[in-house]
Amino acid sequence: MSNVSFSRLERAYVQAQPVFGTIPNTSGTATVGNSNAMRFIRMELQNDVALLERPDKTGTRSQEGMVGGRKIGRWSIELSTVGNGTAGVVTDADPIFQAVFGQSATIGAGTASISSSTDATPIVLSVTHGITIGTFSVVSIAGHTTNTNANGVYLGYASATGTLTLVGSTGTGNGAGASGTLSKVNCAYNFVDTINYFTLWSFRTPATLDQRVGNTCVVTECSFALNQDVATWSANGDCLWVARSSDFSNYDVYQKGGLSSFPTEPTTPVTNGTIIPGFTGRFVAGQSVGTTSATLFAGNAYQFPTIRNVSIRVQTQNMLVRDTFGSYYATTYEGDVRNITVSFNVYDDDSTQVQQLKSWGDSKTPVDFVINLGTNVGNTFVFYMKNVYLASHVLGDGQLRFDAAYADSRATTSNLAVRDEFQMTVA
SS3 label, residue 178 = strand
pLDDT value for 292: 58
| 8 A C-beta contact, residue 204 and residue 5 | yes
Confidence of residue 157 (pLDDT cuts 50, 70, 90): very high
∠375-225-316 over CA atoms, to 5°? 110
∠381-383-384 over CA atoms, to 5°? 145
| 8 A C-beta contact, residue 149 and residue 140 | no
Confidence of residue 178 (pLDDT cuts 50, 70, 90): confident
Neighbours of 370 (CB within 10 A): 24
Q: What is the mean pLDDT of residues 185-210?
A: 97
pLDDT value for 291: 53
What distance lies between CA 143 and its chain's CA centroid?
A: 30
Q: What is the mean pLDDT of residues 178-195?
A: 96
How far is Cα 371 from Cα 155, in angstroms, rounded to an integer? 10
pLDDT value for 365: 92
Average pLDDT in the chain: 95
Neighbours of 53 (CB within 10 A): 11
pLDDT value for 294: 85
Tell me the one-letter amino acid at 78. Answer: E
Q: Residue 95: in which H helix or E strand, if any?
A: helix 94-101
Helices within 193-285 (DSSP H only):
253-256
Looking at the DSSP assignment, which residues form a beta bridge with residue 70? none
Half-sphere exposure of 122 (CA within 13 A, CB side): 27
Express each pLDDT in 93-138 by its tens digit: 999 999 999 999 999 999 999 999 999 999 999 999 999 999 999 9
pLDDT value for 289: 72
For residue 149, which phi and psi values (nearest 5 degrees)? -65, -15
Q: What is the mean pLDDT of residues 310-317?
A: 97
pLDDT value for 388: 97
| 8 A C-beta contact, residue 140 and residue 377 | yes
SS3 label, residue 279 = coil
- DSSP letter assigned to residue 297: H
Neighbours of 322 (CB within 10 A): 18
Express each pLDDT in 278-303 by its tens digit: 999 999 999 977 655 788 899 999 99
Q: What is the mean pLDDT of residues 342-352?
A: 96
Confidence of residue 1 (pLDDT cuts 50, 70, 90): confident
Name all domains of the chain by residue range, CATH numbers in brackets: 110-184 (2.40.30), 281-323+330-426 (2.30.110)
